[in-house]
Amino acid sequence: MPYVVPWCIGFLAFTLGPYLFSLYLSFSEWGLMGPIEFVGTKNYEELFDDPLFIKSLANTTYYTVVHVPGLMVLAFAAALLLNEQIMFRPLFRTIFYLPSITPGVASVILWVWMLHPTGIVNTFLGFLGVPEDSQPNWFASTDWAMPGLILMSFWGIGSMMVIYLAGLQGVPQHLYEAASIDGAGWWQRLRHVTIPMMTPTIFFTMIVGVIGSFQSFASALIATEGGPANATLFVLLYLYYQAFSFYHMGYASAIAWLLFVIIMAFTLLQFALARRWVHYES
């Protein structure tokens, strides 16, 4: 019993307490100084009419819809390649894994440099025959800023890749042998053995990926500060501006709770749909 007391204190002080306080704030108006004024559901009502909030929600959804499936496909493909009998496997594994643990700020600053309108990525596009005037302006362009953030995020496939790699190593070898005896080729084994056996892992990465994606913050803050013209204003970035630039603590808390509800709704929906496609062996 005494061993778990520290965690309990931490839970009360830094999780449960803050959750309750935040919930109360979301029904209040408070500028960080002076008294907290209870205003009922006013903040929530205003949120639904706030074009910037709607915009931030649309941006976050756009990012999530491309970033999560893209990350999953790339990470899965990389894991399949690394699961082959290959030379230098530790070297390749390191190369694909390392970017995912490098500190986010440094990575984002590096990519801002590479995606500079006259940067090295556009130089490569030039080598590939893309003329200079049709090369994307990336973070300086309302259309290309979001694809830029998504492209950058794919450098971090590593952590998802190692989860898939661990999952692939758990697929029983005898299933592949049985499939081969039945004359199944590479694609059929992937389609009928690997993927069904991997569905619990795929499901897990999807849940974690969506939750994380809805809370994206640092990459947009550092690369674009939400711009240009709010093209990369994520929900959490909007929350940050409302709280720490305008000191609308109640309004910002309402944003936090609405985002929480959206994340939970997505998660529950995924769990409900999981019955149809996730295959549990036992």
Partner 1 sequence: MVLAPDIPDIRDIPNRGRPAGSERRTVLRALRLVLVYSLLIGGGLIFVFPFYWLITTSLKSVELIQVDPPQWFPNPIAFSNYADLMAAAPVLSWVRNTVVVTFLGTIFYTASSVLTAYGFARHPFPGSRVLFFLVLATMMMPGHITIIPRFVIFRELGWLDTLLPLIVPTLFGSAFYIFLLRQFFMTIPRDLDEAAELDGANTLQILWDVLLPLARPAIVTVALFAFIEQWGDFFEPFIYLSSPENLTLQVGLRWFSTQYGTQFHLMMAGSVLAMAPIVIVFFFAQKQFIQGITLTGLKG
Residues 53-112 that bind partner 1 (CB under 8 A): 77-78, 81-82, 84, 86, 90, 92-99, 101-107, 109-112
Q: How far is the CB of 276 from partner 1 (least distance, A)?
A: 19
Structure tokens at 33: 């100084």
Residues 28-47 that bind partner 1 (CB under 8 A): 32
Which region among 11-19, 43-51, 55-63, 143-151 touches partner 1 (by CB under 8 A)? 11-19
Which residue matches tokens 């756009």?
A: 62
Residues 147-166 that bind partner 1 (CB under 8 A): 155, 162-163, 165-166
Q: How far is the CB of 154 from partner 1 (least distance, A)?
A: 10
Q: How far is the CB of 5 from partner 1 (least distance, A)?
A: 8
Structure tokens at 96: 């694909």
Q: How far is the CB of 106 from partner 1 (least distance, A)?
A: 4
Q: Which is nearer to partner 1, 66 or 115 (CB)?
A: 115
Residues 166-195 that bind partner 1 (CB under 8 A): 166-167, 170, 176-177, 180-181, 185-188
| 273 binding partner 1? (CB under 8 A) | no
Cis preceding linkage at 51, omega within 30: no
Cis preceding linkage at 228, omega within 30: yes
Structure tokens at 279: 């295959």
Q: How far is the CB of 124 from partner 1 (least distance, A)?
A: 9
Q: How far apart are CA 49 and CA 29, in angstroms?
A: 17
Q: What is the helix (H) or strand (E) element at residue 277, kind and residue range? A: helix 249-277
Structure tokens at 273: 């749909």
Q: How far apart are CA 220 and CA 67, in angstroms?
A: 14
Report the half-sphere exposure of 34 (CA within 13 A, side-chain side): 9
Residues 227-246 that bind partner 1 (CB under 8 A): 236, 239, 243-244
Q: How far apart are CA 278 and CA 203, in angstroms?
A: 7
Which region among 39-47, 139-147, 198-206, 269-277 touches partner 1 (by CB under 8 A)? 198-206
